[in-house]
């Protein structure tokens, strides 16, 4: 059975999981203009941007022979929970004979959840399945750890491009992990890779730190957010995202974990009372959180007409005023010309830098 999945963030993790479970894995190509065009063509006009990218990814994967799409679902009120239903209908209407398996919350419809598990578990024992899941979780956790470091030191690297190279190497390392022993080895060599990156020590007052917040897909998937982190790193800024895959897993899948996200939610309470879907409440919480961590500015990414993020966007000017935190909101859609947005980002960074300099020279 050839299986595929959404392309979001470092895909090594998902690939690994299905490999360990004995599937033939079709890794969808990294989204390109072609993917986006294909997706936009077959999606409802006003569906959100991630929906369209995924649509394109799935079609490309189906053309490569995928027979099963596995993704996560949800129960609203954000549209993302309904993606699978519409994707499946569109794929079928295009004539692809593909099974769309969606993992929903187990408590609402356990039978359905169990069916999904069975489809993915195949003939593996529950023990082996859990073991594979755990290994992949560890891989993802470690990769996230290193990615954070990379984006923190990348602006100060001595040899241009050494951080990018290191990140590629790290991904390759984890791609070859099949058991716990491999994992240990990979961890050790990745640690070494990270430690050998040369970078200049910069005084705290000269650093510009930018937090990237917003809707999870556009925050995590660099191919569709103009590689915002790289762009900022090149402009000499440290970056940190609000979302990492391991954080998402902690909060959504492991009972008792995800304490960090819960605290962020608490910070958002003042501005958005209840959870209104998507990551709206987290987004406002993260603004406060990044402020407390001493960041200089925030870039807020959202897909065009994203429901929860529109609520956030309406509230942001007020938060920004209240806690004195500059925020730049960028709306992303299938128009991929970057000149406009990169000008805005550059201007934003210039402003932050000037602000910092004048603060310290005064």
Partner 1 sequence: MSKVKIGIPKALLYTYYISFWKPFFKKLGMEVVIPGNTNKQMVDIGVKNSVSEICVPIKVYIGHTLNLLEKNVDYIFVPRFESIRKNRFFCPKFMGLPDMIKHGVKKVKDKLLSCSIKTETDDISDYRNYLSLLNKLDVTEKEVKNAAVYASEKWNKFRSYNKMGYTAVEANQMVEKDVSVKDSKQFEHNSNIKIGLMGYVYNLYDDFISMDITSKLRDMGIDFITFDMMEEKELEESIAHMHKKLFWTFSNKVLGAGYKLFHSDSIDGIIHVTAFGCGPDSFLGKLFELESDKTGVPFMTIRIDEHTGNNHLQTRIEAFIDMLKRKKSNAVS
Contact positions vs partner 1 (CB under 8 A): 44-48, 73, 75-79, 81-82, 84-86, 89-90, 93, 104, 108, 112, 271-274, 276-278, 280, 304-308, 310-311, 313-315, 317-319, 331
Nearest distance from residue 297's CB to partner 1, in Å?
Answer: 20
Residue number, 82 or 199, with CB nearest to partner 1: 82
Determine how β-strand 2-4 pairs with β-strand 327-332.
unpaired
Distance, in Å, from the CA atom of 247 to the CA atom of 265, rounded to the nearest integer, reads 13
Closest distance to partner 1 from the beta carbon of 211 (Å): 20
DSSP for 155-188, written as a single string: GGBSSTTHHHHHHHHHHHHHHT--SHHHHHHHHH
The distance in angstroms from the start CA to the end CA of the chain is 65
Return the number of the residue (215 or 229) whose C-beta is nearest partner 1.
215
- Continuous H helices in the chain: 12-20, 33-42, 49-63, 83-93, 110-121, 126-153, 162-175, 180-196, 216-220, 228-234, 245-253, 259-268, 280-292, 307-323, 339-361
Which residue number, 224 or 280, has a Cβ lying nearer to partner 1? Answer: 280
Query: Which residue, 226 or 280, has its beta carbon nearer to partner 1?
Result: 280
Cross-strand bridge partners of residue 303: 332
Q: Least distance from C-beta 85 to partner 1, angstroms?
A: 5
Residue 199 or residue 304: which is nearer to partner 1 going by CB?
Answer: 304
| 66 vs 307, beta carbon nearer partner 1 | 307
Nearest-angstrom CA–CA distance, 81 and 180: 34
For partner 1, the closer of residues 6 and 155 by Cβ is 6
CB of 21 to partner 1, least distance (A): 24
Going from the C-alpha of 177 to that of each of 64, 89, 142, the distances in angstroms are 25, 36, 12
Contact 60, 20 (CB under 8 A): no
Instruction: Give the C-alpha separation, 11 to 28, whole Å.
Output: 9
Nearer to partner 1, 185 or 270 (CB): 270
- CB count within 10 Å of CB 118 equals 10
Least Å from the CB of residue 224 to partner 1: 18
Under DSSP, is residue 71 helix (H, G, I), strand (E, B) or coil?
Answer: strand
- Of the two residues 86 and 133, which places its CB atom closer to partner 1 in the complex? 86
Give the DSSP H/E element, type plus range, for residue 212.
strand 208-214
CB 250, min distance to partner 1, A: 23
Q: Find, among 174, 158, 299, 170, the residue nearest to 227 by Cα.
A: 299
The nearest distance, CB 237 to partner 1, in angstroms, is 26
Q: How far is the CB of 128 from partner 1 (least distance, A)?
A: 29
- How many Å apart are CA 215 and CA 307, to the nearest integer? 10
Give min distance, CB of 146 to partner 1, in A: 34
Distance CA 139, CA 144 (A): 9
């Amino acid at each position: 059975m050839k299986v595929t999945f959404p392309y979001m963030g470092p895909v090594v993790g998902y690939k690994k999981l299905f490999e360990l479970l004995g599937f033939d894995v079709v890794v969808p190509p990294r989204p390109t203009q072609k993917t986006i065009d294909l997706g936009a063509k077959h999606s409802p006009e006003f569906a959100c941007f991630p929906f369209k990218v995924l649509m394109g990814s799935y079609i490309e994967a189906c053309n490569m022979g995928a027979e099963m799409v596995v993704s996560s679902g949800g129960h609203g009120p954000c549209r993302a929970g309904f993606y699978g239903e519409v994707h499946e209908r569109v794929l079928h209407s295009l004539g692809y004979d593909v099974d769309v398996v969606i993992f929903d919350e187990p408590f609402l419809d356990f039978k359905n959840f169990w069916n999904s598990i069975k489809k993915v578990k195949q003939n593996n024992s529950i023990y082996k399945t859990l073991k594979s899941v755990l290994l992949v979780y560890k891989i993802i956790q470690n990769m996230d750890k290193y990615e954070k470091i990379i984006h923190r030191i990348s602006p100060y690297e001595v040899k241009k491009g050494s951080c990018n190279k290191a990140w590629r190497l790290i991904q390759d390392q984890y791609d070859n992990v099949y058991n716990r022993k491999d994992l240990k080895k990979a961890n050790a060599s990745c640690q070494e890779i990270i430690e050998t990156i040369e970078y200049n020590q910069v005084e705290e007052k000269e650093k510009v730190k930018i937090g990237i917040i917003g809707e999870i897909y556009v925050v995590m998937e660099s191919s569709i957010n103009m590689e915002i982190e790289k762009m900022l790193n090149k402009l000499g800024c440290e970056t940190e995202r609000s979302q990492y895959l391991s954080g998402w897993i902690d909060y959504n899948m492991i009972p008792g974990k995800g304490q960090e996200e819960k605290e962020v939610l608490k910070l958002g309470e003042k501005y958005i009372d209840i959870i209104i879907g998507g990551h709206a409440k987290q987004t406002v919480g993260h603004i406060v959180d990044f402020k407390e961590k001493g960041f200089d500015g925030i870039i807020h990414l959202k897909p065009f007409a994203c429901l929860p993020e529109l609520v956030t966007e309406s509230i942001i000017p007020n938060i920004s005023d209240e806690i004195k935190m500059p925020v730049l909101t960028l709306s992303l859609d299938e128009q991929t010309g970057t000149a406009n947005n990169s000008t805005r980002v550059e201007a934003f960074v210039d402003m932050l830098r000037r602000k910092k300099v004048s603060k310290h020279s005064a």
